[in-house]
Structure 1
Amino acid sequence: MRSLSALNEKAVLLRLLNRLDEAMVVANEAVRQARFTGDREQLLGARVRRAQVLQFQGKIDEAITELTGCVDEARAHEWTALEAFAVQNRGKAHFDAKDYENALADVTAAVFLREKMGASPSDIESSLIAVAVVQSFLDESRAEGSPESDRDAD
């Protein structure tokens, strides 16, 4: 159970079960083990999964900071799949923070990255759905803040 893939899988499952404290312990162990192995791509993936736990714990700013570092590192090494994974998750974190403009930029970037790497149609479709959802929230928030919506409320 100490293998890196098993730790990563366990962290994801614990997060999905909303056992977030346990998920964080396991995610931190996965990051430590990935550092020990010296495989920077595996370390980056483990860091993204740990950031997901942070997001689910409501530590959105911490998650965004971690994911931004992951996006930058993946981009620097031209690890397109990891960049798409990190940028999509950063978009979700921005969405949770109700920062719809940055969320839209990130989920849109994820679509282009997935297309660039030749991802499966279902992976691209899920990113396109995320774009549509974020766009609808952005449109709604803009409408609520517009002068026309203020007049309608009177």
Structure 2
Amino acid sequence: MSYIRGYDADTLREIVDARDCKERLDEIGEQRSLPALLERVWLLKVLDRLDEALVISEQSVRVARMAGTRKDLLRSRILHASVLHVRGAYAAAEQELTMCADEAEGQNWSGIAAFAYQHRGKVYFDTEEFDLARTDFKRALFLRQDAGARDDQLESTLLAIDAADRRRVRTTVAG
């Protein structure tokens, strides 16, 4: 079940039904499996419970390091970086996402690389580096297409490209 109802065209943040997300969070409870930890991180992030999301995301990275695959570790690190981003730690998020994107591309893991580029593009978007954001979103789109991503993933990336273009034009006209 997808909890995402859409994306805010101005902020690129997920639009979710908070009640559904809270119910799912309650269902997961204190489960310690990596999938449960990752889901908890995301739910806490979209519910704007960022302190809790940070703690659980750090735990998910540790669990992935000890018991997961390299792909699991990359997914955990990307999600952790997305929490750092939303908390305003842009430089740390950008650095972590860059390392994850490079590693994923080096392994030819298109879907994971796209995930990293999409999130790094959002960091650039929030720091008003719209050309860099657009470049990352375009790279994410290419990689998602290459990986055979679902339509909703492609649509979110197309929305992000459009938003970066609009903001870029707005900034150029205002400047």
**TM-based fold match above 0.5:** yes
- CA-CA distance at 1:38 after TM superposition: 4.5
- 2:115 aligned with 1:97: no
State how 1:3-152 maps to structure 2 within 5 Å: 3-145=33-175
Q: What is the letter of the counterpart of residue 113 of structure 2?
A: E
SS at structure 2 position matched to 1:78:
coil
Q: Percent identity?
A: 41
How many Å separate the matches in 2 of 1:122 and 1:5?
21
Cα distance in 1 between the residues matched to 2:143 and 2:89: 26
In the superposition, the TM-score normalised over structure 1's length comes to 0.91
The structural deviation recorded for 1:118 is 1.6
Q: TM-score, normalised by structure 2?
A: 0.80
Could you tell me how far apart the structure 2 residues matched to 1:97 and 1:106 are?
14
- Separation in structure 2 between the aligned mates of residue 73 and residue 63 of structure 1, nearest angstrom: 15
How far, CA to CA, are the matches of 2:95 and 2:159 in structure 1? 25
Counterpart of 1:72 in 2: which secondary structure?
A: helix
Secondary structure of the residue aligned to 2:88 is coil
Q: Give the drift of 1:121.
A: 2.4
Larger Rg: 1
RMSD: 0.9
Letter of the 1:136 counterpart: R
In structure 1, stretches of 5+ residues that fail to align are 146-154
- In 1, Cα distance between equivalents of 2:49 and 2:159: 28
Residues of 2 paired with 1:41 and 1:3: CA distance?
15
